[in-house]
Amino acid sequence: MSADTPEDSPSFDLPAPAATPGAAAAAAPYRVLARKYRPSTFDDLIGQEPMVRTLSNAFASGRIAQAYILTGVRGVGKTTTARILARALNYEPPAGGGGPSLDLSVPGKHCRDIIESRHVDVMEMDAASNTSINDIREIIEGSRYRPVMARYKVYIIDEVHMLSTAAFNGLLKTLEEPPEHVKFIFATTEIRKVPVTVLSRCQRFDLRRVESGVLAAHLARICAKEDVEVDTEALSTIARAAEGSVRDSLSLLDQAIAHGGGRVGAEEVRRLLGLADRARVIDLFEALMSGDPQRALKEFRDQYDSGADPAVILTDLAEFTHLVTCFKLVPETAADASLVQAERERGADFAARLLVRDLSRVWQMLLKGIAETQAAAKPAQSAEMVLVRIAYAADLPSPEEALRKLRDMADAPGGAPASAPALPPAPGGGTARLAVASRAEPARMPAPVPVSAPQAVAASQAVAEGPRLARFEDLVALAVARRDLLMKHALETHVMPVLFEEGRFEFALAPGGSPNLVQDISRKLQDWSGRRWMVSITAKREGMQTLAETAAAVKAEREVGIRADPLVQAVLARFPKAQIVDVRLREEEPDPTTEMGLAPAEEDAYMGPGPDDELEY
């Protein structure tokens, strides 16, 4: 058995014994914040509301189990909750009477001794150092006798998963049918190592990680009680570093107070933990997504010289990438109290400008790069190479764009288009996906507008011969050549061009576009062309569209027109479950038989698809 000494116990609001003469002059020993502010009632617990509600209902209805098991990560309050639960089981008002209660606002007869771990009927055992069957035999023998003072004899076994197999087996019978005056409370961080036979005899409570916002608010209250000046960003940083552990957060706060000499600043906390500035991490992210390796490496070196660990910088980048993805998919994430203002504002801006596939690609590269950096002999150099890879991958085309490039390269200039294949015989009910190439461009269809300008020829000319910005599409192609993925995406989705001529650009802003886009475009044009441009925003007019909207309209109109084609109607009639997934002009398509893997000489031998084949025309 083990018990904490009274000096190690948490603070407890009970009348203190009379002080001896001269005791007031003696300085009280310092207690760390994790012990000083250890909860003594269920009202003091933070982030565990489901467990408190379940216990409250159970106590109110008299459904008190004979054994409880508390599980969770380190520092979420398992042992503290076990002591509070033991106090609730044995609660007795000062006037006497009563029964088990979770209302511990008025200290009872046994409360002080239980919280200070020195009550004769509440015994704590550390299973890490008492693992044998002999230790369990002492518990079994002691459970036969009634409690000396309290209502129940309570056994608290910490780290119960460390017990040996024989010890678990010896405990089973007593655990299943204990005397009515005995209660068991187990705590463990490794719930999977506890035998199922033990778990089935206990009421289980999973203590959750405390959310960063709740933890930051808790730390702010403690700093107010300690009369410590603290920055909000510093509390957010500590709460994140603790990863949901209240004890870890209080330990870090204690260390930060000592490091700052009574004041906790954001910069001091970052230096203490070896973290990078959140704003500078966002700057580094922007440089990477803009395809600017030179600026990214300079920003990384500045952070590294300031004391940030290379692996931590990459980890922070991955965290911000995840945050931007959450902003894009779950906008309510911005309400998290642990986020700083720069993360909310700039994260939302990135979420509006970046695609999920780009964020996913950066996430995968960072995950691989973090492992490489941690294992490298020179982590800084490894991290720099990871950043270079990400920056140069910023302008990688999407699979659709890559396929379009390959088809453009495969098509010979002036070559005769291949003839349309005959309609194959109807299979026995297979499902087909159709990608239809139109035999003739309908007169009512407008010419397709280039959306992403991925052609390598236009990009290489813009770099080698200098920018020729006669049309708005030339600016998009120049953004591709300059490897600026963010600007390319903004031009395609947020800009509705009104006037574009040499030295002057006027456009309307699409819904969701950033008002700062004018300054960004003006700066990019000056940097890329070497001369000043007059860039301005005008009011949106009727019928104006972005390049992305125009391309989507062209695609939709093509699909409407192609559905009227007799051949397509015949295919759809033969395959009721078929869907038109894409419509392309014939000059955009290679020979269909070649795409199926057939040589020209084998065309006559081809007898049509099988029941499960996918058709592409």
Q: Can you give the CATH number for the domain in which 296 is found?
A: 1.20.272.10
- Angle 485-493/547-563 helices, nearest 10 degrees? 60
CA distances from 561 to 320, 360, 425, 436 (A): 44, 36, 25, 11
Q: Single out the residue in 155, 182, 206 at which a domain terminates.
A: 206
Residue linked to tokens 């870090």: 252
- The answer to whether residue 511 is domain-embedded is yes
pLDDT of residue 464: 43
pLDDT of residue 114: 87
185, β-bridge pairs: 68, 156
Q: Is the dihedral of CA 250, 256, 258, 262 positive or negative?
A: negative
Neighbours of 428 (CB within 10 A): 7
Which CATH number covers residue 76?
A: 3.40.50.300
Verify that 216 and 199 share a domain, yes or no.
no
Instruction: Say how far apart CA 429 and CA 537 lie, in whole Å.
Output: 55
Verify that 431 and 554 share a domain, yes or no.
yes
Closest CA to 475 of 485, 486, 462: 462
Q: How many domains does one find in the chain?
A: 5
Verify that 541 and 555 share a domain, yes or no.
no
One-letter amino acid identity for 403? L
Verify that 385 and 528 share a domain, yes or no.
no
Instruction: Say how far apart CA 208 and CA 257 lie, in whole Å.
Output: 27
- The answer to whether residue 22 is domain-embedded is no
- The answer to whether residue 411 is domain-embedded is no
- For residue 356 the two structure tokens come to 């999920």
Residue linked to tokens 């294949």: 421
Spans of the chain, pLDDT less than 50:
1-26, 412, 414-466, 589-617
- The answer to whether residue 451 is domain-embedded is no
Verify that 323 and 439 share a domain, yes or no.
no
In the three-class reduction of DSSP (H, G, I as helix; E, B as strand; rest coil), residue 501 is classed as strand
Q: Single out the residue in 499, 526, 546 at which a domain terminates.
A: 546
pLDDT of residue 447: 40
Verify that 542 and 591 share a domain, yes or no.
no
pLDDT of residue 467: 60
pLDDT of residue 276: 60
pLDDT of residue 398: 64
237 contacts 273 by C-beta, under 8 angstroms: yes
In the three-class reduction of DSSP (H, G, I as helix; E, B as strand; rest coil), residue 204 is classed as strand
- The answer to whether residue 589 is domain-embedded is yes
9 contacts 117 by C-beta, under 8 angstroms: yes
Instruction: Say how far apart CA 83 and CA 108 lie, in whole Å.
Output: 14
Verify that 572 and 428 share a domain, yes or no.
yes
CA distances from 479 to 355, 454, 482 (A): 17, 10, 5
Q: What string of H, E and C letters represents the secondary structure of 508-541?
A: EECCCCCCCHHHHHHHHHHHHHCCCCEEEECCCC
Which tens digit of pLDDT belongs to each residue from 264-313? 888 788 777 766 667 888 889 999 988 888 999 999 998 888 778 899 89
Residues 6+ apart with CB under 8 A from 368: 386
One-letter amino acid identity for 475? L
Residue 73 CA, chain-centre distance (Å), reads: 19
562 contacts 586 by C-beta, under 8 angstroms: no
Residue linked to tokens 């992403």: 452
Instruction: Say how far apart CA 184 and CA 172 lie, in whole Å.
Output: 12
- For residue 579 the two structure tokens come to 């869907």
Residues 6+ apart with CB under 8 A from 600: 591, 593, 594
Which CATH number covers residue 228?
A: 1.10.8.60
Residues 6+ apart with CB under 8 A from 234: 256, 264, 265, 266, 268, 269
Verify that 130 and 228 share a domain, yes or no.
no
Q: What is the DSSP letter of 9?
A: S
Verify that 196 and 285 share a domain, yes or no.
no
Structural domain that includes position 312: 274-394
Question: In 133-159, which positions are buried (b, 16+ CB within 10 angstroms) versus exposed (e)?
Answer: bebbeebeeebeeebeebbbbbbbbbb
- The answer to whether residue 19 is domain-embedded is no
Instruction: Say how far apart CA 518 and CA 536 lie, in whole Å.
Output: 6
Instruction: Say how far apart CA 242 and CA 46 lie, in whole Å.
Output: 15
Which tens digit of pLDDT belongs to each residue from 335-353? 776 677 778 888 888 888 8
Instruction: Say how far apart CA 72 and CA 355 lie, in whole Å.
Output: 36
Verify that 177 and 40 share a domain, yes or no.
yes
pLDDT of residue 601: 37
Verify that 10 and 99 share a domain, yes or no.
yes
Q: Single out the residue in 528, 546, 564 at which a domain terminates.
A: 546
- The answer to whether residue 412 is domain-embedded is no
Residues 6+ apart with CB under 8 A from 582: 435, 436
Verify that 190 and 94 share a domain, yes or no.
yes
496, β-bridge pairs: 508
Residue linked to tokens 């001269």: 22
pLDDT of residue 374: 92
498 contacts 547 by C-beta, under 8 angstroms: no
- The answer to whether residue 410 is domain-embedded is no
Average pLDDT, the chain: 77
264 contacts 222 by C-beta, under 8 angstroms: no
